[in-house]
Structure 1
């Protein structure tokens, strides 16, 4: 019998699997260390806002936007979401849109887009004020670069609704299209309640409406250029259903009451000046008639004297 056949067969041992108790212990330890790390992280400076960067503002200050965002350095970085900050910043009347991004660790970047400036106006004490596309009015401060590159709105008191509509319309038009416009005034009529009057730097007066403005301003520069080629440098442009040009009306001098009164006084003075002439002529005629009467009455007196002499001689 061979030696290999006499050796007993050793059974293979099965690999030991960890018990359920060991699994629970490992899971507990893992959760414990994760919790400990989270606590340590939230207590450290890495979990707090270190800086808030605000970009894109021109009229509003960074402090105003930061107050609207309702976050400040030292707050928890994960306590507020980006969308929440965006909605809070967009509540400002001059902000058209806001974009908030977070950069770990601790940096929040807020990029805002203000409504564009569409016009200027002069308030109390001739203080310049910027008007935005949403109708908001912002006083021009020394920190702003005040360049009169937008039209001036004048005469709009009492027409706030039309003014807001005009500002919204101007905000939708590229600024290069109304670069020649220096002033805009309301000029409503029964047919066109939103009619306006524009004054250009090229010495033209333009009559149109707020509704027609986006379409008419596209061709205003070319229209004026064609007129100048024809040696027409001024006039009134009516841009309504039809586009027409007319020269400025020449105002006739009007006679005032003072002028008419002076003319009447002059006429009266002439009459009073002529009146003594007639009176002197009448008086001279009267004197001549009296002298004639005297001469006529003289001979009878002489005859009476002669008769009385003859009577004395007869006696």
Structure 2
């Protein structure tokens, strides 16, 4: 008959003490690790290590990057964790050029600003200065150092704000490929209608139309031009109906002769 080995309490006590000590040491190391991690986070949040080092601006065309950053209020002393996105967006959208804005953190030290500007649909001329005009009808007459670059139509003779706003609303509806074809738009009101406009196109044609439903009727322009002789010169009418009226050759020659004299 086998005999069971009997272990006395005196022999087990040292092993129990050693096991408890190891467990206590592990627990102490765990709590110390958590403590130092928390201290490190607090130091990081309170130190310049968490400050913004760069601000990226996307989607801007009229508004310069420097002005967008200045308006956002962000700088290198701003803590990336304490930025108020709604406050920054509110500051940016207070600019008449900006329709909407989004702000995001790109860790560890970058803030991204994505802008959506109002569509730049043309320029207006005041004395010797040119000012951009937006699709919402706002003329940026406080803009500095603006030159007419030909990247949008020049709107001339719009002396009434109501009709200028109506014209910009129509231009805002145009796709960019059509908008880029227009060089100048002249307002030519008459006693019977204040909606008359005359357009000079970049491809050499002249268009007579109306502010009323202009964007809709202008969609016909590419189709009309495609059917014309490239050498022909005249006016494309897109008012009540859509048709091409060729210039009188004799009248053109007489006018050219008078200018030469």
Between the aligned partners of 2:97 and 2:82, the Cα distance in structure 1 is: 27
Tell me the equivalent position of 1:285.
none
Cα distance, 1:74 vs structure 2 = 1.0
Between the aligned partners of 2:8 and 2:159, the Cα distance in structure 1 is: 105
Unaligned segments of structure 1, at least 5 residues: 251-315
The one of 111, 114, 124 equivalent to 1:111 is 114
Unaligned segments of structure 2, at least 5 residues: 252-261
Between the aligned partners of 1:179 and 1:198, the Cα distance in structure 2 is: 16
Cα distance, 1:73 vs structure 2 = 1.1
Between the aligned partners of 1:119 and 1:242, the Cα distance in structure 2 is: 26
TM-score, scaled relative to structure 2:
0.70
Secondary structure of the 1:137 match is coil
Residues 200 and 99 from structure 1, CA distance in 2 versus in 1: closer, same or farther, beyond 3 angstroms? same
Between the aligned partners of 2:8 and 2:151, the Cα distance in structure 1 is: 98
**CA deviation string 1:79-108 (max 9, x = no partner):** 024455334322311013333332222211
Residues 10 and 190 from structure 1, CA distance in 2 versus in 1: closer, same or farther, beyond 3 angstroms? farther
Do the aligned partners of 1:46 and 1:105 also contact (CA within 8 Å) in 2? no
Cα distance, 1:64 vs structure 2 = 2.4
Between the aligned partners of 1:29 and 1:60, the Cα distance in structure 2 is: 51
TM-score, scaled relative to structure 1:
0.60
Alignment RMSD (CA, Å): 3.9
Q: Does 1:35 pair with 2:7?
A: no
Tell me the equivalent position of 2:255.
none
**CA deviation string 1:276-304 (max 9, x = no partner):** xxxxxxxxxxxxxxxxxxxxxxxxxxxxx
Residues 90 and 199 from structure 1, CA distance in 2 versus in 1: closer, same or farther, beyond 3 angstroms? same
Residues 127 and 153 from structure 1, CA distance in 2 versus in 1: closer, same or farther, beyond 3 angstroms? same
Q: How many residues align?
A: 238
Cα distance, 1:178 vs structure 2 = 3.7
Tell me the equivalent position of 2:222.
221
